[in-house]
Amino acid sequence: MPLTFDDLLARARALPSGGRRAVLGIAGSPGAGKSTLAERLVRELNGAGDPWAAHVPMDGFHLADAE
């Protein structure tokens, strides 16, 4: 059975524990909705209380500085 967004949200909430940081990566083909998913996930995670999640886009990170 595929994971739902709520399943993913629950797993993401459980990642940081004991004051430790966690990094969650999202992979997929171009135009698959990775950024949209990441933005929604961060919005939901930060929705109640102090913001603690951030979206750090990696678009173009693989390109050389000259490109």
Domain ranges of the chain: 1-14+22-67
Orientation angle between helical segments 5-14 and 34-45, nearest 10 degrees: 60
Helical segments of the chain, H only: 5-14, 34-45
Question: What dihedral angle (degrees, nearest 10) is formed by the CA atoms of 3, 19, 46, 32?
Answer: -40
Question: Could you identify the residue written with the tokens 């998913």?
Answer: 37
Q: Using CA atoms, how far apart are residues 37 and 40, in angstroms rounded to an integer?
A: 5
Q: Kindly state the tokens that stand for 50.
A: 């102090």
Stated pTM of the model:
0.78
* pLDDT digit string, tens, across residues 7-63: 999 999 998 878 888 899 999 998 999 999 999 999 999 997 788 899 988 876 666
